Amino acid sequence: MVRKDNMNSSELRNKYLEYFVKNGHTRIKSASLIPDNDPTVLFTTAGMHPLVPYLLGEKHPGGNRLTNVQKCVRTGDIDEVGDNSHCTFFEMLGNWSLGDYFKEESIKMSFNFLVNELKIDINTIAVSVFAGDETAPRDMVSATCWKNLGIKEEKIFFLPKKNNWWGPAGVTGPCGPDTEIFIVNEKASCGENCSPACSCGKYLEIWNNVFMEYEKKADGSYVPLSQKNVDTGMGLERTVSILNGNNSVYEIDVFKPVMDRIKELASGGENIRARRVIADHLRTATFMLGDEKGITPSNVDQGYILRRLIRRAVRFARLISIAPEFLPELAKEYIKIYGETYPEIKNNGEKIISELQKEISRFDDTLQKGLVEFEKLKKYIQNNRISGKAAFRLYDTFGFPIEMTIELAEENGITVDKEGYEECFREHQEKSHAGAEQKFKGGLADNSEQTSKLHTATHILLATLKKVLKDNTISQKGSNITAERLRFDFNFERPLTEEEIKDVEKGVNEVINRALPITCEEMSADAALKSGAEGAFAERYGEIVKVYTIGDYSKEICGGPHAGNTKELGKFSISKEQSSSAGVRRIKAILE
Ligand code: SER
């Protein structure tokens, strides 16, 4: 046990804020979930996000020491919701120094809070610090500070940028090396070389102290900031669940009444993932609908993400035999649970319920018909692939967000021509003169500079996988890009070895360093395929397509957009390699 007594969410919230106020911080209100100054992200993803102007030097009316609990939404890993730790909404406890204290004082305050206020056993604490690279030096200051506080050397890990660097929150902005604090779960070790970089479950992260001394510019360079800041973030739900020794965040107090009600409503079946998805999505929808900037379901931007969440909850409810008209009841529970802490949720209570009711009945009517249509489709599709046209019909006639069609397809071992879908969508939009820019990739703005770079990286990755794994039958089975990372699925029968992963990273970086230009040509699909271009779109044979060529290295049929030259990409690194479905592997990677 990490500590002796149980601790619920409001106790942790209050203790945290009181402690930092006692240490000279001004308590500030949680900002809206909809960011004010950042067109590259749809939602507030961290406590520092609304503070960007102040981290860059503007004066904050609350002074130079601040603390709060911030509502956050991250939808990039929506398909992992339902495991033990992922949620699309979470609360982040944070404290900031705007050019005031720096590493040592920040670490000491965190340590005292954990050991003296929360009474966590010091022997269960491990930390990681930045190992150093060409941007910033090895962080000996933080390491020495932890050592002097009594953390044993074997519990202090030096890790690279991939693990111990945070930010910027969008494409540009303040960022820097960090030191992360973990609770060690001795029961879950995967072997002697395990470290906080490993996801086996031995090291559970509870707090991240970021030393924001740099600003990342649009050209990818890091410029030192005139003021040195500290930005820390502690995920409330995760920390409560770890402190209480729970197996999953869905067991903590804020979820319990909702999870219990879902269990009661579901007539049989032990589908724990579906129950968690429903609990998560309804909570996020409640906060989005109840936000002070009041969003409602729609087909663009934030409203589209909200629509997707509600519709996905409806589908999962049907899956475990819950009539979707019961879902607003769960929102009522959340209004009770959070109404005191977030008065906007209480004040907007009626709107939350009525908007949910409207969206649920709008969709539930067509869901059943759409599912019948989907079953029919499965019988007559070719190459195990749903065409863009068919996916568009599911969207246009039955209200299936494309992500839902892809998810259903994945569950059935088939793929979807997403590019074809997007083309139908664009054509339809042009026809209906609905010109609004579409932004729905994982909650982030499409077509941004960073997504273009990651997109180019996926092309280089595919060509490199074929080379390193010596397998020319490898092709793309799916891809999803947010401003933070790329996700790429491809056919391959077994996990990659450590060495293969390293060779792939090395291969991609070599191509990046060769500074190859990326060019685009339009031609018929026939000509494109004959010229050796990669392209998994058999059903679009005969149409005019775009072909993107990366020097002598890669040629793919693709809608774009892409970077102009590989040298713009920065350093490529793989953060995860895992199974996606039978015979399909999934790689997640970032550009630093
Ligand atoms: N911004 C950092 C994070 O999100 C610390 O608050 O982890």
pLDDT tens string 78-99: 888 988 889 999 999 999 999 9
Helix axes 402-411, 418-432, angle to 10 degrees: 160
> In angstroms, what is the span from residue 243 Cα to ligand 1's centroid?
20
Classify 5 as helix, strand or coil. Answer: coil
Among 35-49, 293-307, 465-479, 516-530, the minimum mean pLDDT is found in: 516-530
91 lines ligand 1 (CB under 6 A): no
pLDDT higher than threshold 60 for residue 445? no
pLDDT (average), residues 288-292: 97
User: Taking 70 as the threshold, does the pLDDT of residue 44 lie above it?
Assistant: yes
Neighbours of 472 (CB within 10 A): 8
On whether the CB atoms of residues 334 and 283 are closer than 8 A, the answer is yes
**492 neighbors 539 (Cβ within 8 angstroms):** no
CA of 592 to the centre of ligand 1 (A): 17
C-beta of residue 15 within 8 angstroms of C-beta of residue 24: no
210 close to ligand 1 (CB < 6 Angstrom): yes
pTM, rounded to two decimals? 0.74
In the prediction, which pLDDT does 544 show? 58
Measured in angstroms, how far is the CA atom of residue 205 from the centroid of ligand 1?
12
pLDDT in tens, 327-356: 999 999 999 999 999 999 999 999 999 999
Residue nearest to atom 3 of ligand 1 (CA): 233
Give the mean model confidence (pLDDT) for residues 290-310: 93
- Whose alpha carbon is nearest atom 6 of ligand 1? 233
Residue 480 Cβ contacting ligand 1 at under 6 Å: no
Q: Which two tokens stand for residue 283?
A: 């909570």
> If pLDDT is split at 50, 70 and 90, which confidence band does 113 have?
very high
Rounded-to-integer distance, Cα 443 and Cα 483, Å? 9
pLDDT at residue 78 in the model: 87
Do strands 572-581 and 584-591 pair parallel, antiparallel, or not at all (unpaired)? Answer: antiparallel
Distance from Cα 208 to the centre of ligand 1, integer Å: 6
- Closest residue by Cα to residue 348 from 360, 358, 338: 338
Of residues 441 and 166, which shows the higher confidence score? Answer: 166
Of ligand 1's atoms, which has the minimum distance to the CA of residue 167? 1
| Coil, helix or strand at residue 91 | strand
Q: What average pLDDT does the segment 114-128 reach? A: 96
CA of 130 to the centre of ligand 1 (A): 15
Range of weakest confidence among 215-219, 400-404, 477-481: 477-481
Q: Does the structure show a pLDDT above 70 at 295?
A: yes
Token look-up 């040509």 returns 521
Confidence of residue 547 (pLDDT cuts 50, 70, 90): confident
233 lines ligand 1 (CB under 6 A): yes
Q: What angle do CA 566, 568, 573 make, to 5 degrees?
A: 80
| Alpha carbon of 169 to ligand 1 centroid (Å) | 9
Ligand 1 pocket test, candidate residues 106, 179, 208, 229, most atoms within 8 A of CB = 208
User: How far is ligand 1, taken at its centre, from the CA of residue 209, in Å?
Assistant: 7
State if residue 50 touches ligand 1 by the CB under 6 angstroms criterion. Answer: no
For the beta carbon of residue 167, count every other beta carbon within 10 angstroms. 22
Atom number in ligand 1 closest to CA 92: 6
Which residues of the chain are in CATH 3.30.980.10 domains? 449-591
Task: Give the pLDDT confidence score for residue 4 in this predicted structure.
Answer: 64
Q: Which fold has domain 9-248?
A: BirA Bifunctional Protein; domain 2 (3.30.930)
Closest ligand 1 atom to Cα of 46: 4
Token digits for 328? 């607003």
Q: Where in the chain is the domain with CATH 3.30.930.10?
A: 9-248
- Is the pLDDT assigned to residue 75 strictly greater than 60? yes
Residue 287 Cα to ligand 1 midpoint, Å, equals: 20
Pairing of strands 173-184, 125-130: antiparallel
Cα-based torsion angle of the residue sequence 94, 99, 101, 104 in order, rounded to the nearest 10 degrees: 90
Closest atom, ligand 1, to C-alpha of 45: 4
> Does residue 371 carry a pLDDT above 90?
yes
How many CB atoms within 10 Å of residue 545?
Answer: 25
CATH of domain 449-591: 3.30.980.10
Please say if the pLDDT value at position 152 is more than 60: yes
232 lines ligand 1 (CB under 6 A): yes
- Of all residues in the chain, the percent with pLDDT exceeding 70 is 93
- Mean of per-residue pLDDT scores for the chain: 89
Q: What is the mean pLDDT of residues 236-244?
A: 95
Report CA torsion sign: 527, 529, 533, 535. positive
CB 95 less than 6 A from any atom of ligand 1: no
> Is the CB of residue 231 below 6 angstroms from any atom belonging to ligand 1?
yes
Q: What is the structure's pLDDT at 439? A: 36
Instruction: Judge residue 226's burial from the number of C-beta atoms within 10 Å of its C-beta, 0-12 exposed, 13-18 middle, 19 or more buried.
Output: exposed
Q: Is ligand 1 within 6 A of the CB of residue 94?
A: yes
| DSSP states along 451-468 | HHHHHHHHHHHHHHHHHH
Six-digit token pair at 334? 């959340």
Residue-wise pLDDT for 171-192, tens only, equals: 888 999 999 999 999 888 787 7
